[in-house]
Every structure is written in structure tokens, then in C-alpha cells.
A and B are shown apart, each in its own frame.
Chain A
Amino acid sequence: MKRICLLFLVFLGLLASNLNAQERRITGTVTDAADGSSLPGVTVAVRGTTQGTITDINGRYEITVAEGATLVYSFIGMVSEEREVGTASTINVALSADVATLQEIVVVGYGTRLKYELTGSISSVNAEDIAGNTMPSFENALQGRTAGVQISGGSGKLGQAIRTRVRGSSSISASNQPLYVIDGVPVVSQSLGTTGNEPTNPLAQLNPADIESVQVLKDASAAAIYGSRASNGVILVTTKRGKEGKTRFNISTQYGFTEAANEVGYLNREQYIDLWRTAAINRYGEDDDWQARLDGVFPFWRDTNNPDDITQGPDEDWEGHALRQGANKQFDISASGGTENTQYFTSISLYDQIAHINGNELDRISGRLNFDQKANEWVSFGLNMSVSRTRQYRVSYDRAFASPLQMIALTPLDPAYVPDTDELNENTLYENGLIVRKYSSFDTEAFKNFGNVFVNLELLPGLSFRSEAGMDLTFQQEVEYNGRLTNDGGPDGYGFERNVKSKLYNFDNYFTYNTIIADELDLNLVVGTSFTQADFEFASMAGTGFPSDEFKRVESAAEVSFASASGTGYRYTSFFARSYLKYADKYFLSLSGRTDGSSRFGRDNRYGFFPSASVGWVVTNEDFLMDNMAISFLKPRISWGLTGNSEIGNFASRGLYDGSSYAGLAGLISTSIPSPDLRWETTTQIDFGIDFGFFNNRISGEIDYYVKKTKDLLLRVQVPASTGFSEVYKNVGNLENKGWEFLINTVNVDGEFKWNTNFNIAFNENVVTNLDGQIISEGIWRVMEGQPIGVFYTREYAGVNPDNGDALFYLNEEGDETTTNIAEAANRIVGDPNPEFLGGFTNTFSYKGFDLSVLLQFVVGHDIYNHGFQWQASGLRWEDNHTVYYYENFWKEPGDETYYPQPRLYQSNGYGTSSIQIFDGSYMRLKDITLGYTLPGRISQRINVQTVRVFVRGYNLLTFTDYPGWDPEADSPDAGVSSQTSNIVQGWDFYTAPQQRILTVGLNVTL
């Protein structure tokens, strides 16, 4: 309607305009800055007049204007651009999406909405922020850009699992990861990797450059349409589609290097010897022959030519072996366009990253075709199809000796190579990680075939039917080999091989009905069904005894030490409906309901019903605010809804026996007791929000307050182990998340120089309100009533006795009494791994052809347990190398007030788990900085291209933190853990790889 009005105005303007003697004829093309595609229907108006035109199907326009006039290019959902008419006769303009715009189209489940019509809470990230993402998987691009969504990289290993929390943790035993829906298909996002290594992230197999937008459905009204699987939020990913117009080619490439975002700093030779001497004298007295002790531990620590000069000899930098400079290469090419009836988007992409971690690499090749065809007036159909191959060269999990990061446990006195030879040193304190790197490999190759086909029938005016059949097929092979010289492969080689088939099919059918019920009262109705079937098949085997390290496949093994073939699966059937009422563009009401049935529960508790309701009121469309110049938009909204979670084991409700064997006899062992009454865990969420815009939306934003209450937790209830079982799944307990989210967008300077700011911050408070008296412990993490999930519960370090350097610990659960015997100290709550608040701060600047975007991302108030410091700061209780941070902070003489106690060789002075290893992990990161330059149109056109942009991009360039470990994002995923363990064990740093810093230069060309 608006567009027709504009057209009419333009038409009037054309009639009314006086033809001027100094008129110039201007032609040009308007394109979308994001992908260079042409934009038809853009209004090109002459400022201060009613004169104007609109662009044609190829984005071209032609207009005759007076000299010195200014042209204004505007289009729904785009930031308007102005150009002064100088001497040029061609003016090409690229419009970029208006992030703050309220006309933006937002994808919701089974449909779309305009942003101003929304009644729920949804965060969006668009293509520009995702394209050119230097990390393999798109979730990294959400970091700091989506209020209330916590993304932590876990460890810096490529393609491994990422922890995502939308508005906190809503479960204890069931998964807390959101549901990912890509082009309408609820995909498999959980790890398909072996339990013998860290979990992998199947989403890394999707090319981020193909993504048009990502929406995070946060509140219940937005998410409830996904019912039983929506308690943790839903992340909707929409891939790019073709637009009517001539074929656009977009070529984009990046090259750069990677390195660790931070290095800890470990002792060099001189420092280590000094620490050793100090610790030996402290323990054994001044006369101790500490050099003889070194001789007993480090066979090569003396210089072979001059053994008495201890200033000479090996000074190995093991951190330098663990971490390295890597490389990043990306190349994407896409073509899109189409006719009125046929549109397509197709792309091919190459991605190759050599990580900063020794031995870790990922490469991916992927292709996509998205196709839309309108067959006739009432039938249209299409498909989205992508294929990819992803290869991951993995390293061992953090806790394994073979993890390259564990090399730093080796001291500078252990040379990597036997002196004066090129033979790797096999006599290091712990395994020489370079031997592992040389003789071990863990290659994972995944083929993913993902997509859907759909047909849309326009049955009646306003009534359409859509049927979508989607699939997500992954074939993954893992091949591991550990050479004969490695600990994991000795004495004669170990090979492991695993194949996974993951097959998910999804079939959605729904009607959409749009009608005007009465004057200004619009109704939108969606009714449909959904079926999901997922089947997984696994086959794995291992062998030992290889003729030589040249043979790596199990076929050559003398003995097959392990073989297994298995499968599992789940099913969902669902019915859903949603009605959406809009009155006079002011009042909005949305009601939805979904019934889900799941194969995971017993026959009597199989179905659950998940309703939601929400209302919104655009106050600024009321007469009394219509003409208010200051307030341009104001919409309070309230939503309520119920969502579920069933992400537990596929057969948790049953009493089961698994196969086992002994001495060649087949056997069965009990693994669970039945829990036939098991049913959904449900979360009720209420959300109060307000969307606002001031001064013509120069300042705009959203504020949300929510309360999420989860009841009937699917809890692994602990039972006395004397029953033969440790736990049983039951619906017990409650927990709660509540918090605030703020999002503010401002246009600080507008004109030729532009400066926009986006700031978001989210506070979440998690508390477990009822566990029916249960205490759930995972190491030092605990879940207790009245506390947030996974608090640190261990002995509290009381510091150093300044008189004698003894470590002190609080003796009792309360009070100030201390003890030097760590074993006597009581456990206390000493930290919380959940952040107090998190967010991001983006500033974008543009001037002429230059653009600069700076994203600062922050997470504040979470504690980290640096488990590795138990050995890296043990005061030489162990011979491991120590951190420089330790070296600079230990007690030396009476009166010293230091963090660490006096070192005593081989003796425990405060050694053991306590809050001495727990640190504040608050950080702020210069997450993403991009500086680009777009060649002026006249130059690019001379070489026959639409746009040319060169850029430099930095990822994690700077980190501001007091955390003394590698990375404050540390959150070791560990290997083979249950979802309960991964929910509870947060902020665990166990030789956890740091994130990477990436610096690339890139080029974007649109043809």
C-alpha cells in the first residue's frame, strides 16, 4: 500500500515538475550492499521536490534532474542514501540493510512478520555480520550481537562443540542447547563424534556465507510454536534466495593468519632452575644437592659439552610447540538472480583453516542451490539443497596427555630433541607431545547433504497450503592412528575407526490463511502438522599391533581390540496452530498451541501440549502520539507461554540391560531401572518488553524483562548406589531464570560521515529453587537448592601465612578459622561459573568508500576453575613447568603477602583442589574489527564490475581480562560426557586451548 502511495506521489511529482534549462539525465543501478544483487523498486527521489522514479527489474533507473540536486534512494528495510548530482551522468548506489528498521522482515516459525508487528522477543543477525565470518561455524557471529544469547567457544579447537545458552540454563539433566532450525528443518546439532574425543559441532558443516539471516526466538511466545523442544530457545537459520533480476556474481575471498588469542607464559630455563633451587632448599635445607635431584629427573638438562655450567643447556619453549601460527583461507562465489517465475541462488565455497593449535586443522568445501519456481497462479515449488565435505584434523581432548596443550607441562630442561641429534626425546617428564604430533592423527571427514523441497499452493485468496519435506543427512568417518612411540599407541600401534550415519527426515504441512475479518481487523492463521524422524547408526572398531606406523587402517592390525555396531533414534509427531490478530496496526494478539508426541517417553505420557499467548500495542500509531516528533515508535508487549524439553537419552524411561562379555561368554549388565511415569520437562516463561524509537528512530531499541520457570525437571535423581544403580530419571525439581535485556541502536552521525552504534547487554539470574533435597555433584561443581547451576563447591583458600609461607584454608563451613592441612578444610561455595551479564558494543563508521566496524564483546562475573594450575602452580609438588604468574607471586620471605604459598619440592604446601585455582573470568574482547574500502563506482565500472570492496578483518585482536590462564572463554567440553555433566561443568579450564586470533585481508567483488 505504501509503495503504491509513493508511486502515486512520484507520478504526481513528475507531472508537476518544471523542466529546467540546466537539467541533466542521470542513469545508474541500485544494488544491495550485502550481496551486490540489483534492487528493483527502489524509490529515487529528488530532495525538496516531488520529483522521482523507481528502479526497474534490473535495479536500473533513469531520471532527469536539475544540476546541483540531491537524489534520495530509499527502499523498505534499507538505509536511505543521498547523492549530490555533480558532473557525473552515472550514479550507482548500494543500499545496506537497516538494522534498526521496523519494516525488516523477521522469520518466525512457519511464517514471517514485519518487525513492528512482533509480539515476542526475537534477536536477529543478518547476512553481513555472518558472511566473512572467519570461524568455521556461524554461531561465533552471534557472539556479542544477540542480547541474552551466551555463546562460548569452549576450547579453541576447530569445529568442536560450542556452548550456546539462550536466557540461561533451563535444565539440569536434559540438554540446554537451543533447537536449531535451518530453512524449516530441525537439524541434528549435537555431536556425532566419538565419545573418545571432544564433541564436534555439525553446524560447522554449513557454509556461513549462504546464510541470509539468523533469528533467535527467545521468549515463549516466539518459541512455543516449536513446543516440546523450545525451552532452550530456537535458532532459526534462513539461507539466501534468489531475487528477480539479472544474474549477479559475488566473489569473496579472505586470506590471513591465525595465532593464539593469548599466551600464558611458562618458565624458561633460568626461572625454572631458580624455582627448583628455591623449592629444594625450602624443603631439604641449604645444603641440599638440588642439582643431583635435577639429574635424576631431567637426563639432558646439562649441556653435554660443559656439564658444570648450569647456565648452559636446553631451554625448550613448550608453549611454542603447543601453539603456532596458522593460516586462514576462504573463497566463496555465488550467483543469484532469476525471472519473475524462476529464481535461484547458488554458491560454492572453500574454507581452509590451519589452527593455532599444533595438529589442528579444518577444511570444508560446500555447494548450494536454492531454487524457487512459480508454476502457475496457484502452484509454486522449490528446493534448498546443500552438500558439503568437512575434514577436521583433530587433536586429543583437553584432559588427555596427548592433547598438544599438555606439552606445556614439560619443562624447559627437557629438550624436544635428543641433544645433537634430530631424534625426538623419548625421555621427557611426561610424554613428548611432539612425538604424538608426529605419529598420531585423528582425521574426521563428514559429508553433509542438507535441504528440503517444498510446494506452496495458493488455494483461495488468502489461503495457502505449504508442504515441506526436509532432510539432514550426515555421513561421517573418523580415523585415528597412534604410532608405536606414543603412549596411546604403544607398543605396536593403535588404530581406531568409526563411521556414523545420521539421518533426519522432517515433514511439515500447514495451511496459512490471511483475511480481513472486519474493518482494519486482520487475521493470520497457521494450522499444520510436523513429523520428525531421526535415526543414527554407528560402527566402530579398533586394532592394535601394526606392522609399522606406515599402516594406519585396522585391516593391518594384528588384533582387533574393539568392534561395535549400533544404532538409535527418536521420533516426534506434532500438531500446531497459531492465530495472529492485528487491529488498526496498533493492537496485536498472537495465540499459539502445539501438541507434541515423543518416542522418548512411555506410552501413557507421550503427548504434551504447549500453548502461548502474547499481545503488543503500537502506542505511536495512536492519535495522541501520531504527531509526536520525539517519540517515533513505542510498543509495549507481553507474552506468556509454555515450552518443553525432552533432550534426554532416547530410552531414559525404560529399565534396560546392555550387552557385555567376559572371557568369551556373552553377558548382560543392568544399566537403568524403569521410570514409566517420565514426562516432559516444562518451562513457563513470561516476558515484558518494550520496543522504542526516538527522534525519527535515530535512537531505537528494546528492553525485555523475563521470568522463566522450569518445573518437573527431567532429573537424574540420585539413589543409593547400594541398590546397584546410581540414579534414575524422574520429573523432580524446579529452577528459574530471570533477567533483563537491553538493546540500543543509535545513529550518532548521519550524512556523508556516518556513525552508528549498537549496544546490548543482558543480565540473567539462574537459581535452582527445588531439587527435593538432592545434591548433584560433578567434581567440584554442584547443583544445590538456592544456588545457580554448577556452583564451585570446594575448600576455600585463605591465602598465605605471611610469617612462614604456609598455605591456609578455611577449616569450617563458616567462620575464619584456618588450617594448613588442606584435607581438613571444609567445602564451601567459592564461585559461580554463570556470568552476571554479557553483551556487545558495535560501532560502525562509514565515510565515502570507507567503512569500519568494531565489535567489543564482554562477559562479566563468571568464575573459572583452572584445574591445570594444580600442576602448573604446585610449588614444585610436581616437577611440571610452572606459569610465570606463579613465579612472580609466590612467598619468599617472612612478611611477604603473596597469592601463592612457599614452594617446597615434592611436598604439598596447599597442593590440591581449592579456590586457589578459581579465578574471575570476566573479559572484554575486541571480537571483530573490519576496515573496508569500496572502490568508487566510476572506477569499478571501468573494469566492468558492480562493486569492489577490499577489507582487513581482525578476530579476537585484543582481550582485556585479569584471568591468568590461557583464555577467559575457557570451557572445556571434555570427552564422552552426559548432557548433565556438560550442563553442570562450566568454566572448566584443563589445559584448555585458547581461542584464536585471526587477521585476514579480503576482497569482495560483485559482477
Chain B
Amino acid sequence: MKTKIISALTGFFFLAAVFTSCEDFLEVEPQLSVSDDEVYGSHDGVLNALHGAYALIGGPQLWAGTSIFHSDLVANSGQVAWSGTFIQYEQMNTKNMDPNDGYITGKWSRAYWIIDLANNVLNNLNIVDENARGRVEGEAKFIRGIVYYELLRFYAAPYVAGNSNGHPGVPLILTPTAGITDDDFAARETVANCYQSILNDLNDAKALLAEYTASGANDGRATASASAAFLARVYMSMENWEAAANESNFVITNFEGYDALNGTPRAAYNNDSYTSEDVFMIIQNATSNAGQANDGIGTFFASLDGYGRSDIHIQPMHMDMFEESDLRATITEDPEINVISDVPGMYYIGIGTRPGNLMSSKWGKYDANINVIRLAEMILTRAEANFRNGSSIGAAPLADINAIRDRAGMGPWDNLDLELIWEERYREMCFEGRLLDDVRRFRKSVTIPDGTEEGTVLPWDSPRLVLPIPQREMDVNPNLVQNEAYN
């Protein structure tokens, strides 16, 4: 009997000891993650975080999706019809944006996520190998700068040249988040200060990346040209025409002028690599893309065989902007097309979901690279900036405009006015996420194209063209003020 008890007890305590004496039993390490101190403990770790920031830029919340969309639907006066079922986009189209909108919240959160990564990289430059430090710093500043610009153009009322621009911009966070403290409940910085920070970052990036100008090995990553291109956009928003002309001229010079433009307008889109006129693209491929079914820009624009929701239908009002024989207005009407490469035209009659509507062929492939800035935009920017400035930095405005027209198969203008520049820019840049800024700069009004307020005209600076600060952010952070239209 005794042996029974002893044997059982021994067994029991042995087993108990095996597991409990070593605390290790409860130590389970994650297989898919590493801790933050490991990331910022080495050169490679910091580089990885920088690459992570690039990866986040490629999400559907920014240039690979809603940035294009938010701009072109919010500024839409009926050039396109929104016929999709996503109510959030419907609300943008009718200028009734909802602070609870998940896309509006998503853009905000994604932007600051990228900014925090960039801040972390900048905070840990001292452990980056010296010979790589400049580029890492430049890239991180480029990323931070362009993301802040993106936030500002959507969530803040426009910058008005000559004013103090003391109205609220967005929280300006330039240091990494460690733990959550009271300081993390940041208020909105003024628009003026936000713009200044963006200029600082992009100017630094342009200088630090001076040796990285060519495309090819630098595809998809920040370069001096890409920094200058964004600077040109920022200066245009600030109506600093001379600086905008200089920056766009810097890009055009780097690209060696008009010859870098693709042979046809159609050649710039749905590509798997940079074309000669791409200044900055987001690299996508089959394994890494913004999404195919509900996300990513293409799905909303396409009506192809098995691809596209066919949500954006091009309206006569848009086509009326083109003259006949404009290569940018060619329509492919062919029921045999399957994929976007079968479509030679800039437009096609949809053959997939909701067939029979007029679709744009700019976005027709879910895993193609995303055009962010093309040389054509820089040429148009230089023309407009020079025209408004009364200068001819790099080239005369008329020459620039005619270069764009020439590529579109159109004869040259003899004289230029602002309206002609607006029209040319509209024709060239439509559906590329520029409309909202252009409407503001050209002081164009926006007409609500649909819904109960159909026909209502909103001025260029209407608060209703500004996105709301996300409601979840308002709820969490008492130091924020909401935008005017949403109070």
C-alpha cells in the first residue's frame, strides 16, 4: 500500500515539477512579430521600418485608392455618376460626408501610422550606417512630408495665400509615440505651421536625395525629382507660383524635357513598371496591392471580364470637355475585350458588371503600379505657375501647354488664358486625384450632382468640400475641433 502511495505521489510531484519549476512553459514567443526594441536596435531594423512605411503608403487608404477617389468625387459636379452601393462614396458625391465614415477614418489612421514609422526612423538615424544615413533620412522625410500634405488637403480648409492661415490644420506629430501620455492628445496645428513643416521635410528630402534622380533602380522610392514634384504641388496650393515653377522645372530638367513623355496618352496607365514619364509611382504586384474586390482604385473604375464593380460611369458633361480627335477622348466599343490591355482607348464601354456604361481606362488592373505623379502634370504645373507669375522659368507657358496638346494629337494654341490652362489640365489629369486641388486653385464652383440637393452650387472654398475629422478621433481626443460643416 505504501508503495502505491509513494509511487503515485512521486509521479504527481515529478510531473508538477517538470512543468512548473521552469517558468519557461509559459514563455511563448510570437512567430510573426518582433518587439519594438529589437526593430530599433540595428541598422537593418531601422531600414525595415522605413520599408514598412513604404508598404503602408501602398494601401487603399491613400494614393492607391481613396486619395484619388476622395478628391475626384468630392469635387465632382456631374462629370461622373457614382452608381456603386458604397454609401460612403455616395456621400462624397453628394458632399454629405459622414464623420463616422470608415474610409475617412481609415485614411486618417493610416496616414498617422506611416508618420509614426517615419518619426521612429528619423529618431533612430544614429544607428543607421553612416553611408546610408542620408538616404534613409531623406526617404523618411519625403514620406512624412507627402503624407502630411495628403492629410492637409483633405482634412483642413484650403491654404489661402496672403492670409495668416491660422485656421486649424491637423495634429503635427514629429516625434515617435512611446507610450500613451497626455501629450499624445494633440490639438490641430495651424495650416501655416503644417505647410511649413511639409516644406521643411520635402526640401530636406530633395537635398538629401540629390544623387537619386533617375528611375529604374529607384522605382517606387523617393528621389529628388519626386520630392521636387511634391514641393511643386505644395507651392501651388500655397499659390507661391514662382517656387512652384522652379520645382516643376527641376523635375522637367531632370527628365530631360518633353521627350520623356510617352508616345501616347494611353501608355501611362496600367503598367507594371515605370514608364519614361513617371515621376513617382507606388509599386504593386500580385502579392502586394491595394485590393481587388472592395478596395483599390481599379475596382471602382472597371467593368471588365470578372473585374471591377463598375461604380463610376463617365457622363456626357465630362466628354464635352474634349474636342473631337483628342487622343484622350478615344472610346473603345468592343464586346470582345476582356482585360484592360485589350482596350486601346482612354474610355471603353463596360463589358463586365453593369455593362454598357462609359468607363475610364486609366484604372483597370488591380495589381498594376499606381501613378502618383507624372511628368505631364509637372509640365502643366510649370505652365500654369509661369503664366500666373508672368514668367517663363524653363519654358514659356504656351510651349508647355502645346507640348501636352501635341502628345494628345491636338494642334497648338496661339494664345493662352487661365481658362484654357484649366481645361487642358482637366483633360490631362482627370481621374488622377487632382480635381479637388484644381477646383480650389482655379476658384471653380462645384455643383452637387445627385441626391436631394441636386443642382446646389458650392463655392471653391465651401466647408462642405473638406472632409470631417473622423468621429472616433473627436470622441477620443477632446483637444480636437471639428471642421465647420460638421459641427
Residues on A close to B: CB < 8 A?
A: 296, 299, 378, 400-401, 426-427, 429-431, 457, 459-460, 465, 467, 484-491, 507, 509, 511, 529, 531, 533, 544, 559-563, 566-571, 573, 597-599, 603, 606, 650-651, 654-663, 665-671, 673-674, 718-726, 728, 775, 777, 820-821, 823, 870-871, 878, 906-909, 912-913
Could you say which residues of chain B place their CB within 8 Å of the CB of A400? 293
Contact of B52 among A486, A544, A657 (CB under 8 A): A657
How far does the alpha carbon of A529 sit from the alpha carbon of B20 in the complex, in Å? Answer: 10
**Is the CB–CB distance between B26 and A486 below 8 Å?**
no
Closest to A566 in B: B32
B415 within 8 A of A: no
Contact of B36 among A511, A571, A657, A908 (CB under 8 A): A657
Could you say which residues of chain A place their CB within 8 Å of the CB of B177? 673, 723-725
**Is the CB–CB distance between A662 and B54 below 8 Å?**
yes
Stretch in B67-75, B113-121, B233-241, B243-251 touching the partner:
B113-121
- A491-B304, A655-B36 known; A878-B8 Cβ under 8 A: no
How far does the alpha carbon of A400 sit from the alpha carbon of B293 in the complex, in Å? Answer: 9
How far does the alpha carbon of A529 sit from the alpha carbon of B25 in the complex, in Å? Answer: 14
Q: How far does the Cβ of B385 sit from chain A's closest Cβ, in whole Å?
A: 31
Contact of B355 among A299, A650, A668 (CB under 8 A): A299
B31 within 8 A of A: yes
- A661-B55, A908-B451 known; A562-B30 Cβ under 8 A: no
Q: How far does the Cβ of A50 sit from chain B's closest Cβ, in whole Å?
A: 43
**Is the CB–CB distance between A573 and B305 below 8 Å?**
no
**Is the CB–CB distance between B49 and A657 below 8 Å?**
yes
Q: How far does the Cβ of B193 sit from chain A's closest Cβ, in whole Å?
A: 15
Could you say which residues of chain A place their CB within 8 Å of the CB of B16? 509, 529
Per-position 1/0 for B456-487, Cβ under 8 A of A: 00000000000000111101110000000000
- A568-B30, A568-B32 known; A906-B180 Cβ under 8 A: no
* A-B CB contact pairs (8 Å), 27 listed: A459-B8, A465-B12, A490-B307, A509-B12, A509-B16, A531-B19, A544-B286, A563-B287, A567-B31, A651-B33, A655-B35, A656-B35, A657-B39, A658-B32, A658-B33, A661-B288, A667-B52, A673-B179, A673-B180, A718-B472, A721-B112, A721-B470, A723-B184, A823-B91, A823-B98, A908-B94, A913-B87
Closest to A665 in B: B51
How far does the alpha carbon of A489 sit from the alpha carbon of B352 in the complex, in Å? Answer: 13
Could you say which residues of chain B place their CB within 8 Å of the CB of A507? 15, 19
Closest to B180 in A: A719
Could you say which residues of chain A place their CB within 8 Å of the CB of B108? 721-722
Q: How far does the Cβ of B49 sit from chain A's closest Cβ, in whole Å?
A: 5
**Is the CB–CB distance between A660 and B112 below 8 Å?**
no
Q: How far does the Cβ of A297 sit from chain B's closest Cβ, in whole Å?
A: 8
Could you say which residues of chain B place their CB within 8 Å of the CB of A670? 36, 49, 52, 113, 116-117, 120
**Is the CB–CB distance between A908 and B452 below 8 Å?**
yes
How far does the alpha carbon of A563 sit from the alpha carbon of B11 in the complex, in Å? Answer: 45
Could you say which residues of chain B place their CB within 8 Å of the CB of A563? 287
Q: Tell me which residues from 4 to 42 in chain B have a Cβ below 8 Å from any Cβ of chain A.
A: 4-5, 8, 11-12, 15-16, 19-20, 23, 25-28, 30-36, 38-39
**Is the CB–CB distance between B26 and A721 below 8 Å?**
no
**Is the CB–CB distance between A668 and B34 below 8 Å?**
yes
Q: How far does the Cβ of A501 sit from chain B's closest Cβ, in whole Å?
A: 13
Closest to A904 in B: B452
Q: How far does the Cβ of B86 sit from chain A's closest Cβ, in whole Å?
A: 11
**Is the CB–CB distance between B286 and A777 below 8 Å?**
no
Q: How far does the Cβ of B340 sit from chain A's closest Cβ, in whole Å?
A: 9
**Is the CB–CB distance between B30 and A650 below 8 Å?**
yes
Could you say which residues of chain A place their CB within 8 Å of the CB of B12? 465, 467, 509, 511, 529
Of residues B288, B338, B473, B476, which shows the largest number of chain A Cβ atoms within 10 Å of its Cβ? B476
Given A656-B36, A660-B55, A662-B54, 12 additional A-B pairs, CB 8 A: A426-B355, A487-B293, A490-B307, A654-B35, A655-B35, A657-B49, A662-B283, A662-B288, A673-B180, A722-B171, A723-B112, A907-B451
Could you say which residues of chain B place their CB within 8 Å of the CB of A603? 23
Could you say which residues of chain B place their CB within 8 Å of the CB of A296? 356
How far does the alpha carbon of A460 sit from the alpha carbon of B307 in the complex, in Å? Answer: 74
B45 within 8 A of A: yes
- A459-B8, A467-B11, A570-B28 known; A484-B306 Cβ under 8 A: yes
- A559-B286, A663-B220 known; A722-B186 Cβ under 8 A: yes
**Is the CB–CB distance between B85 and A667 below 8 Å?**
no
B96 within 8 A of A: yes
Could you say which residues of chain B place their CB within 8 Å of the CB of A777? 100, 471-472, 475
B271 within 8 A of A: no
How far does the alpha carbon of A487 sit from the alpha carbon of B287 in the complex, in Å? Answer: 18
**Is the CB–CB distance between B25 and A726 below 8 Å?**
no
How far does the alpha carbon of A490 sit from the alpha carbon of B48 in the complex, in Å? Answer: 34
Of residues A486, A562, A656, A663, which shows the largest number of chain B Cβ atoms within 10 Å of its Cβ? A663
How far does the alpha carbon of A513 sit from the alpha carbon of B12 in the complex, in Å? Answer: 15
Residues on B close to A: CB < 8 A?
A: 1, 4-5, 8, 11-12, 15-16, 19-20, 23, 25-28, 30-36, 38-39, 45, 48-58, 85, 87, 90-91, 94, 96, 98, 100, 105, 108-109, 112-113, 115-117, 119-120, 170-171, 173, 176-177, 179-180, 184-186, 219-221, 283, 286-288, 292-293, 304-307, 338-339, 352-356, 367, 450-454, 470-473, 475-477
Could you say which residues of chain B place their CB within 8 Å of the CB of A598? 26
Closest to A537 in B: B31
Q: How far does the Cβ of A547 sit from chain B's closest Cβ, in whole Å?
A: 15
- A668-B51, A669-B117 known; A562-B287 Cβ under 8 A: yes
How far does the alpha carbon of A603 sit from the alpha carbon of B26 in the complex, in Å? Answer: 9
How far does the alpha carbon of A484 sit from the alpha carbon of B306 in the complex, in Å? Answer: 7
- A531-B25, A567-B31, A722-B473 known; A487-B353 Cβ under 8 A: yes
**Is the CB–CB distance between B35 and A667 below 8 Å?**
no
Q: How far does the Cβ of A108 sit from chain B's closest Cβ, in whole Å?
A: 22
**Is the CB–CB distance between A299 and B356 below 8 Å?**
yes
**Is the CB–CB distance between B306 and A491 below 8 Å?**
yes
Could you say which residues of chain B place their CB within 8 Å of the CB of A662? 51-52, 54-55, 57-58, 220, 283, 288
Could you say which residues of chain A place their CB within 8 Å of the CB of B338? 491
Closest to B179 in A: A673
Could you say which residues of chain A place their CB within 8 Å of the CB of B49? 657, 667-670
How far does the alpha carbon of A671 sit from the alpha carbon of B34 in the complex, in Å? Answer: 10
**Is the CB–CB distance between B475 and A663 below 8 Å?**
no
**Is the CB–CB distance between A723 and B52 below 8 Å?**
no
Of residues A487, A561, A670, A907, which shows the largest number of chain B Cβ atoms within 10 Å of its Cβ? A670
Contact of A871 among B85, B109, B113, B170 (CB under 8 A): B85
Contact of A720 among B90, B186, B219, B354 (CB under 8 A): B186
- A660-B52, A670-B116 known; A490-B305 Cβ under 8 A: yes
Closest to A483 in B: B306
**Is the CB–CB distance between B31 and A568 below 8 Å?**
yes
**Is the CB–CB distance between A912 and B219 below 8 Å?**
no
Could you say which residues of chain A place their CB within 8 Å of the CB of B27? 599
Q: How far does the Cβ of B459 sit from chain A's closest Cβ, in whole Å?
A: 19
Could you say which residues of chain B place their CB within 8 Å of the CB of A726? 109, 472
Contact of B5 among A459, A728, A821, A912 (CB under 8 A): A459
Contact of B352 among A490, A661, A909 (CB under 8 A): A490
**Is the CB–CB distance between B305 and A669 below 8 Å?**
no
Could you say which residues of chain A place their CB within 8 Å of the CB of B8? 457, 459, 465
Contact of A561 among B48, B219, B287, B471 (CB under 8 A): B287
Q: How far does the Cβ of A298 sit from chain B's closest Cβ, in whole Å?
A: 10
How far does the alpha carbon of A64 sit from the alpha carbon of B241 in the complex, in Å? Answer: 117
Could you say which residues of chain B place their CB within 8 Å of the CB of A460? 1, 5
**Is the CB–CB distance between A656 and B30 below 8 Å?**
yes
**Is the CB–CB distance between A725 and B116 below 8 Å?**
yes
**Is the CB–CB distance between B39 and A668 below 8 Å?**
yes
Of residues B4, B283, B306, which shows the largest number of chain A Cβ atoms within 10 Å of its Cβ? B306
How far does the alpha carbon of A718 sit from the alpha carbon of B51 in the complex, in Å? Answer: 27
Closest to A431 in B: B353
How far does the alpha carbon of A427 sit from the alpha carbon of B356 in the complex, in Å? Answer: 9
Could you say which residues of chain B place their CB within 8 Å of the CB of A401? 293
Closest to A429 in B: B354
